[in-house]
Homo-oligomer: A and B are copies of this chain.
Amino acid sequence: MKPVPSLSLLTRILALGASLILSGQAFAQSDPLPSWNDGAAKKAIVEFVQATTTQGSLKFVPPAERIATFDQDGTLWVEHPMYSQVMYCLERIPAVVKAKPDLAKVEPFKTVMSGNREAMAKLSMQDLLKIVAATLTGISVDEFNAEVKKWLETARDPRWKKPYTELTYLPMQEVLKYLRANGYKTYIVTGGGQDFVRVYAEQTYGIPPEQVVGTAGGTTYGYAKDGKPFLTKEPKLLLNDDKAGKPEGIHLMIGRRPVAAFGNSAGDQQMLEYAKAGDGARLAMLVLHDDAKREYAYGPAQGLPATKVGAFPQVLYDEAKKQGWTVISMKNDWKRVFVFD
């Protein structure tokens, strides 16, 4: 039997209505993307959202299928001059060496401990993997989360002298909120460490841990002396969430093809292809770092030499044109870059 609505029930419904008005979100008619200049990029986003969420539209996407995926480094926040997670690993080495003093005499730890930035820049990929293994594995998941949290509170970006979590792009934050207000589930799909990004994604982007897909290692279940179970992070790679690993990771962790995908480098090409290859309306966008003044300009598409991070080669630019992906020019499409601008 259906319950009969009582007076108190109607009061609650009106209260619910009032809170919707107060939040001002659900029915707001104002510009959802105030930090964007009018142009092809902003138009593509707004038209996509309207087409996929308007009942009766030929391009309507049912709410359950509204999945949008975002690369993180260089797409949602600054990746230059070095990924923040690499900074974390390097800055964590002294504590690792303190716990195991013998490491101080062994490379690459010796170089990192020297503080010589020039020598550190020359470390090989194999050296970096040793640093990653020493700083990201061999500890419990809870300890790791606590360490990253602590680091984020004090670490500062070298240029703006601000916490990394404040260096997110305001226009992209607006896109995340705009999509969510329209029933999209927003995911981060990052080449960075899944556990690392999960520590701050909820507070920084409003994206809960279960919606962060990243490069992931295995864990091992075990018991502490008091019988309490815990998970230890192992140096066993389960998912290399970069390039072809991005659609593979999306299948593993989400199990649906995204309707919209956002990236900024060659590492995102396959994710964008995968999203775009589905039926119906699709949105694929690439952030181009062409704003040397407010942020950075880098990569061959800028006529600049390739860099270690966030490579945006000419071939990706050509691919974007060919595949109908929209390139976002930081310089021209964004009114503001950071919330503190």
Which residues of A come within 8 Å of B, CB atoms?
1-3, 5, 9-10, 12-14, 16-17, 20-22, 24, 27-30, 64, 67, 141, 185, 194-195, 198, 202, 208-210, 212, 216, 218-221, 228-229, 231, 238-239, 244-245, 247-248, 251-256, 270, 273-274, 277
Contacts and interface: CB of A to CB of B under 8 A. Distances in A.
A274 B229 contact: yes
A37 to B, nearest CB: 20
- The 6 lowest CB-CB distance pairs between A and B, nearest first, are A209-B255, A13-B17, A221-B244, A210-B254, A2-B24, A198-B255
Contacts of A277: 228-229
A135 to B, nearest CB: 19
B9 A219 contact: no
Tell me the number of copies of this protein: 2
B248 A219 contact: yes
Given A13-B20, A28-B3, A209 B247 contact: no
A88 to B, nearest CB: 18
A300 to B, nearest CB: 24
Contacts of A209: 254-256
Contacts of A195: 255
Contacts of A256: 208-210
A253 B211 CA distance: 9
A9 to B, nearest CB: 6
A208 B64 contact: yes
A185 B211 CA distance: 13
Nearest to A185: B210
26 contacts: A2-B24, A3-B24, A3-B28, A3-B29, A5-B21, A9-B21, A12-B27, A13-B16, A13-B17, A13-B21, A16-B16, A17-B17, A67-B210, A208-B256, A210-B210, A210-B254, A210-B255, A210-B256, A216-B252, A220-B244, A221-B245, A221-B247, A221-B248, A229-B273, A229-B277, A238-B239
A255 to B, nearest CB: 3
Most buried by B among A14, A20, A229, A277: A229
Given A244-B221, A252-B216, A255-B210, A27 B2 contact: no
Given A210-B255, A231-B248, A238-B238, 19 more contacts: A1-B30, A3-B28, A3-B30, A5-B21, A9-B21, A9-B27, A13-B13, A13-B20, A64-B202, A195-B255, A198-B255, A208-B256, A210-B253, A219-B251, A220-B248, A221-B248, A221-B274, A229-B274, A238-B239
